[in-house]
Amino acid sequence: MSIKVQIYTVQTPAEALALVDAGVDHLGVTPFSGQGLPGEVDIVTARAIIETIGGSATRIALTVTDDLAAITAMVQAVQPDVLHLCGVAGSLSPQAVASLKKRIPGVAVMQAIAVAGTEAIQEAVAYQSVADYIILDTQAPDIPGIGASGTTHDWSISRAIVQQLNVPVILAGGLSPENVADAIGAVAPWGVDSLSHTNLQLPAGRFCKDIERVRQFVAKARAAAA
């Protein structure tokens, strides 16, 4: 099987180009929301990153808000290929997501599901009719929204979700070059995502992408899928 590799969070156009060169298929950017998310960039920078990538990778913009007007305005300003919805569970119902899609024609939707127990299975099933992608992630206790936890979850639940859904499923949550092969073997997802464990830590709590670790992540994922 083939597999897609998704990497968060891109913070500069130069970093975006380096990640494309490293073989990344999906590049995620976190436009400013005022909620202090890891790796947030202002709207102008987010748009510049999207333009720089062009058609060389799928371009994704993340939001944790449940304000449909604010989400629509962000999408119109940044112009990603995919909108990643990762507000806390239940913040946007499937019906709300369907309404949102009408506001952003031509933009795909990636819905995050927090995998904490078997209830995640039915939640994922409920969103598959309105989402173009489902991303299975781990809820962090101190970060708004679903993701950026740096920790794994029960992959047997994720596998059950993959087996029941008819849309592409991306596995996230604590994935690294060291465990991505095991994750693919356990879950058989359509794609894999990494943020925390492909970062290079900088002073004052900041980070950039560790391009060498990204290359390792891509290589391990491709080899495991093959």
Domains and CATH numbers, the chain: 4-225 (3.20.20.70)
Per-residue pLDDT at 38: 83
Q: Mean pLDDT score of the chain, rounded to an integer? A: 94
Give 61's pLDDT tier (boundaries 50, 70, 90).
very high
Give me the percent of the chain exceeding a pLDDT of 90.
85
Per-residue pLDDT at 28: 98
Tokens of 87: 């507000």
Per-residue pLDDT at 49: 98
Residue 37 has pLDDT above 90, yes or no: no
Per-residue pLDDT at 149: 73
Is 207:39 a contact under the CB 8 Å cutoff? yes
Q: CA dist 150 to 135, 143, 195, Å?
A: 15, 11, 8
Residue 34 has pLDDT above 90, yes or no: no
Mean pLDDT for 163-183 is 97
Give 143's pLDDT tier (boundaries 50, 70, 90).
confident
Residue 194 has pLDDT above 90, yes or no: yes
Per-residue pLDDT at 178: 98
Mean pLDDT for 196-214 is 94
State pLDDT tens for residues 107-140.
Answer: 999 999 999 999 999 999 999 999 999 999 988 7
Mean pLDDT for 193-221 is 95
Q: How far apart are CA 29 and CA 141, in angstroms?
A: 22
Sequence-ordered list of residues with C-beta below 8 angstroms from that of 44, at least 6 positions apart, any chain: none
Per-residue pLDDT at 90: 79
